[in-house]
Structure 1
Amino acid sequence: MSNTTNRLSLEGAARSEYAEYGPDLGVALASTDDELRIDHTQYVTLDRQFNDATTAERRAVLQTTYDRLKDRSNTLREREKQAVRAHAAGDLSSRQLLKTLLRNYQEAAALSEAFDTLEERSDRVSGSSLSVADQQDKLKMHRTQIRGQLWSSAYGNGAIEYISVETSESGYVLETLDEDYLREATRFDNRDTSTSTQFANLPEAYGHSDDLYPWAYDTGQSPSVSEYTTAQLYQIDISHEQGQLKAYLDGGTGDIHRELQTLVPEILPPVRQQEWQKDGLEIVVNKTAANGPRKVTVTNRETDEPVTATITISGFDVGETNADGSLWYVPPSGGYELTVERPTGSNVTVPVSNS
């Protein structure tokens, strides 16, 4: 892709739709229950056996607790994968999928705190050297900006009005607009821990990631790649002129497993424009690359004045035009109908292609 970052996409038939997410007690209760069970796993095991144990016994207790927390951490990915595939198959609603992702978001925070406590204990035991850095980095993949925004919305404090959810058997893509365009993508089929990493060293992984994101590397400020040895992942971080990119390169497949992008819509290069003149209105849709955010502008055809209107996509309300008659929105993955709803009650609908 030229003049912007490459973006991780799904393969195969995908389900794509908008979802609203507001205050939800269910996810809060589930997350609280998860935290209590993590506390039980960590503290009951440690506190009951630690104080009166010998040094060797303490090392064994620490290792046992570490293994339990690690197993618990691994369940987050499996829970996520099962929910995504159920959504793609039509067996789970978008709201239920988002609840699952938010449950992982909060549980990852609780697990991260538990690993910190475990490491502190380990540092005080002679001969114990538990390293939790890679486990902490794996948990960060569930603590993304989009999920943080959704979590705030679940408690009634968020700014997200809607989110685009796309799933397939192989993974998912979440997209939304706050002040920036936020995009989170995961490919489960791009993760293989059963084989050793194909990169001989970190510079080799760096060179490969350069091939995957050439524009970002060319325009970015000090791109970096760090290795999580036990997780067999390489984290790519790039700040560039259009925003920020964080991606996780899998050593086994040599492909991107997870990708997080924050982009400024106004400076993304336009790739195509569609225009309509209908019922006294001029409607213009400017499209950006990779089916990224689009801007619709509505003006009065005779006076060229901006028009205040509510914009709906195939019946879903995506917002109201600003003072200049424009609105940025996240488009669906396929073609759709865009409707301009004027305060007078008269509507104008136009067909928008996905090309």
Structure 2
Amino acid sequence: MRRFTCVALLALLVLSPIGTAASAPAVPADTAAERPTLSADVTSRTSISNDTTRRLELDTVSTQGYGTPGLDLGAAVAMNRETVDSNYQLELLSVRLGAASSDEARQALVEAAIEDVESRVDTLQQQERQAIEAYGAGDISERELLKRLALVGYRAEQTKDTIARLERSTGASLGYLTRQANEYSTPTRSALFRTLNNERDGSLQAQVQGSQSGVVIQLLAQTGPDLEYYREAVRLDHWDTDTTNGFDNRTEFLEYTEGRYPYVRESSGVNIWEFRRGSWFYESPLDQGSIRIYVDGSQRKVYREYQQLTVSALPVSNSVNATDYGVEVVINETANGGPARIQVQNVLSGDAIAAPVMVDGTVVGQTDDDGIHWFTQPSGDYEVTVELPQGPINVSVSS
């Protein structure tokens, strides 16, 4: 079931004048009113390409939509306060270690500090699970989910910093805790937190797909000259936290990973290790970007997947065009459910047309001066609408 979260904005756009980079050919009012809405179908998106990464999906999508966490100064202030408190606790630990009267006393202080960090990592896991399950059940909105996961990601980064400082001050080896905290720190969540903190002016929009067993988040963000595609997928049902069974060795795990993700076979600079007992971690740079994977060895299933890919490097899989009112709309989908590119132009002159773009009734942006806009695709069939002064052009996209 899709939820539409921008009804008010949509109504405003429909009632407001629409700016264009070039005007569409004029259509008499009576003709435009009588003309049926144009629809077109594309070929199935179920075909899989090995020219880019595979993508971890949900078995069933119970709810989905577009949203942004938006500016939240209260959340930003709270996070800054948590950082100050953490720094204070570390300084206090340093003072107490210096004043400790024996090695046993110092050891007890270090063990207590480590237990505190372990508790913080457990809290990250609980907060993430609660947010995902609440969204899948329809109890919270996309906006609230994105906010909660952004805060989980920020806390994970702060926890990693605390662990590093604790290692420096005590000499303890806590790499296992760093890897656990890093599980909840993702490029997607970092981008979302910057929106909370106003670094992206509150304009970042994400497409969310959810169920009570997992979530997929996609978003597009400009990074320097490149448009980047961020995607993360978490499958709670693919991770058995109690098992200790797993892959026998690195070779067996690598064979599994390369079989599941054929595109990564040619990559270099791969990091592989047994993440927890029974679970394994894979991280690799790619020609198109980077990927991070977590696998439950007992189930032989991927339960986390984080990707950051350069949009211009992604292969096109399907294309469809529709023409009405003297305007052509072309949609090019990238492979394996990646982002899609829409272009709107005047058929006679070839001039670009700037117009609002909607997906299933939700505004996802407006074509630029070149008549182009990139958007993230929802799960299943969906409809793209380009709003023109003469009327809408609707394009149906089939999964």
Instruction: Tell me the TM-score normalized by structure 1.
Output: 0.88
CA distance in 2, matches of 1:13, 1:145: 23
Letter in 1 for 2:314: L
Question: Could you tell me which residue of structure 1 aligns to residue 83 of structure 2?
Answer: 35
- Residue 91 of structure 1 deviates from its aligned partner by 0.6
- Residue 122 of structure 1 deviates from its aligned partner by 2.6
Change (3 A) 1:268 1:113: closer
SS at the partner of 2:159? helix
SS at the partner of 2:268? strand
CA distance in 1, matches of 2:255, 2:271: 10
What is the aligned counterpart of 2:259 among 193, 211, 236? 211
CA distance in 1, matches of 2:105, 2:64: 52
What is the aligned counterpart of 1:271 among 317, 321, 328? 317
What is the aligned counterpart of 2:63 among 15, 19, 23? 15
Could you give the per-residue CA deviations for residues 157-181 of structure 1, whole angstroms, max 9, x where no partner exists? 2175311111111111111112111
Contact 2:341–2:372 (CA under 8 A) maintained in structure 1? yes
Question: Could you tell me which residue of structure 1 aligns to residue 198 of structure 2?
Answer: 156
Contact 1:293–1:328 (CA under 8 A) maintained in structure 2? yes
Query: What is the 5 A alignment of 1:238-257?
Result: 238-257=284-303
Question: Could you tell me which residue of structure 2 aligns to residue 188 of structure 1?
Answer: 236
Of 249-258 and 73-82, deviating more is 249-258
- Residue 264 of structure 1 deviates from its aligned partner by 2.4
- Residue 194 of structure 1 deviates from its aligned partner by 1.4
Could you give the per-residue CA deviations for residues 235-281 of structure 1, whole angstroms, max 9, x where no partner exists? 22233332221212233432212111122223322222222111221
What is the aligned counterpart of 1:339 among 382, 385, 390? 385
Letter in 2 for 1:350: N
Letter in 1 for 2:297: G
Question: Could you tell me which residue of structure 1 aligns to residue 187 of structure 2?
Answer: 145
Of 164-173 and 298-307, deviating more is 298-307
CA distance in 1, matches of 2:230, 2:175: 26
Question: Could you tell me which residue of structure 1 aligns to residue 396 of structure 2?
Answer: 352
CA distance in 1, matches of 2:300, 2:105: 41
Contact 2:220–2:229 (CA under 8 A) maintained in structure 1? yes
Question: Could you tell me which residue of structure 1 aligns to residue 177 of structure 2?
Answer: 135
Letter in 2 for 1:263: L
What is the aligned counterpart of 1:312 among 336, 358, 372? 358
Instruction: Tell me the TM-score normalized by structure 2.
Output: 0.79
Question: Could you tell me which residue of structure 2 aligns to residue 175 of structure 1?
Answer: 218
Query: What is the 5 A alignment of 1:105-124?
Result: 105-123=153-171
Change (3 A) 1:311 1:244: same
- Residue 228 of structure 1 deviates from its aligned partner by 4.2
CA distance in 2, matches of 1:252, 1:51: 47
What is the aligned counterpart of 2:282 among 233, 236, 252? 236
- Which structure ranks higher in relative contact order (CA pairs < 8 Å, sequence separation ≥ 6)? 2
Change (3 A) 1:11 1:38: farther
1:166 aligns with 2:214: no
Question: Could you tell me which residue of structure 1 aligns to residue 348 of structure 2?
Answer: 302
- Residue 200 of structure 1 deviates from its aligned partner by 1.6
Contact 2:151–2:193 (CA under 8 A) maintained in structure 1? no
Of 109-118 and 227-236, deviating more is 227-236
- Residue 50 of structure 1 deviates from its aligned partner by 5.9
Contact 1:10–1:171 (CA under 8 A) maintained in structure 2? yes
Change (3 A) 1:347 1:264: farther
SS at the partner of 1:222? coil
Of 149-158 and 33-42, deviating more is 33-42
CA distance in 2, matches of 1:231, 1:354: 42
Letter in 1 for 2:239: R
SS at the partner of 1:339? strand
Change (3 A) 1:228 1:22: same
What is the aligned counterpart of 2:337 among 281, 291, 313? 291
- Residue 82 of structure 1 deviates from its aligned partner by 0.7
SS at the partner of 2:243? coil
Contact 1:11–1:170 (CA under 8 A) maintained in structure 2? no
- Residue 285 of structure 1 deviates from its aligned partner by 1.2
Count of residues paired in the alignment: 345
Contact 1:308–1:322 (CA under 8 A) maintained in structure 2? yes
- Residue 232 of structure 1 deviates from its aligned partner by 4.8
Moved >3 Å (runs of 4+):
32-50, 228-233
CA distance in 2, matches of 1:297, 1:325: 5
Letter in 2 for 1:162: Q
Letter in 1 for 2:310: V
Q: Which runs of 5+ in 2 are unaligned?
A: 1-47, 222-226
SS at the partner of 2:270? strand
- Residue 71 of structure 1 deviates from its aligned partner by 1.5
Question: Could you tell me which residue of structure 2 aligns to residue 68 of structure 1?
Answer: 116
CA distance in 2, matches of 1:352, 1:243: 30
Could you give the per-residue CA deviations for residues 62-104 of structure 1, whole angstroms, max 9, x where no partner exists? 1122112101111111111111111111111212111211221
Of 148-157 and 85-94, deviating more is 148-157
SS at the partner of 1:185? strand
Change (3 A) 1:231 1:121: farther
Q: Which runs of 5+ in 1 are unaligned?
A: 124-129
CA distance in 1, matches of 2:200, 2:279: 31
CA distance in 2, matches of 1:304, 1:199: 57
- Residue 300 of structure 1 deviates from its aligned partner by 1.4
